[in-house]
Amino acid sequence: MKRFSGWTLASPATLLILLGLIAPVAATIYTTFGTPGGPLAPYQAFFASGFRRTVLLRTINVSLIVTAIALVIGFITAYVVSRSPGWLKSILIIAAVFPLLTGVVVRSFAWLIILGKNGILNSTLINLGLISEPFAMLYTQGAVIVAMVYLFVPLMILTLVGVLEAIPDDLIQASASLGAKPSATFTQVILPLAVPGLIVGAVLVFTGSFTSYATPQLLGGEQVMMMGTLMYQQAMVTFDWVSASTIAAIMVVITIAIVLVMTRIARRLNPMAV
């Protein structure tokens, strides 16, 4: 009876998820199998195009780089925050959350001002005499990576702070009292216990980077086109809805595959973590 009542209570939320999330994605993917050329024709056309393969590989590469950098920066920052006194911890968490209060487009435009030829960074370098003429930093892969790291590091920090705070100080002190070096304490105590937070944070950052549209469009343009901008172009510029749906389906499959790989890595690092 309790089990039945549990399903009854969960059914409204389950129905909402099915109708609001799963059904639209399933309908989008379904449209790619009804083309005259056969059910796999749109996918064959996608992977037959060298340009589209390049866009896909670039998107995966940028997303993985952003995730790796965000993991390192986020973990170090979250560890410092988790070990700070109460008043300082509150200030640091507010500082980490504050960028999230501003829209993605606004934050991306800020990087246009910073990285432009007449922007803050080039002007500073010229005034210091380090360069004689401005660098072309916009519309490069590096600009997209820097902006995305800035966008998603706060998510990584917020994800890891709670996990690291839950690690008892007694474990770290016990490790030190038993003669373990700080590096051994980190690799054998802190890191395994932080694996769940690392995986959740990595998934959030990767999926956000992989599906991002505004930042690659503003800072990468046509030169650094990614899957999100390509899908928008196919849907809203050329009105090729089948190609746009195909791109969306490929993104869904790759995202699920990456999540499964990260989960497998987590199990290898700590079988009790997930």
Residues 171-185: what's their mean pLDDT?
80
Residues 60-64: what's their mean pLDDT?
94
Is the pLDDT at 153 greater than 60? The verdict is yes
Nearest to 143 by CA among 112, 172, 120, 119: 112
User: pLDDT at position 6, please?
Assistant: 65
Phi, psi torsion values for 167, nearest 5 degrees: -75, 120
Tell me the pLDDT tens digit for each residue of 234-256: 888 888 888 989 999 999 999 88
User: What percentage of the chain reaches a pLDDT higher than 90?
Assistant: 28
User: pLDDT at position 274, please?
Assistant: 45
Residues 197-204: what's their mean pLDDT?
89
Residues 113-137: what's their mean pLDDT?
85
User: pLDDT at position 60, please?
Assistant: 94
User: pLDDT at position 273, please?
Assistant: 47
Look up the CATH number of domain 42-269: 1.10.3720.10
Integer CA distances (angstroms), 197 to 159, 161, 202, 268, in order: 6, 9, 8, 15
pLDDT band at 55 (very low <50, low <70, confident <90, very high): very high
pTM: 0.87
Tell me the pLDDT tens digit for each residue of 22-35: 888 888 788 888 77
Domain positions in the chain: 42-269
Residues 268-274: what's their mean pLDDT?
56
User: pLDDT at position 90, please?
Assistant: 86
Instruction: Please report, as a single letter, which amino acid is at residue 35.
Output: T
Secondary structure of residue 182 in the 3-state scheme: helix
Residues 105-128: what's their mean pLDDT?
87
Place of tokens 């998603």: 152
Assess contact for 234 and 51: CB atoms under 8 A: no
pLDDT band at 206 (very low <50, low <70, confident <90, very high): very high
**In this structure, which long-range contacts are made by residues 35-41, counting pairs with CB atoms below 8 Å and at least 24 apart in sequence?**
35/242
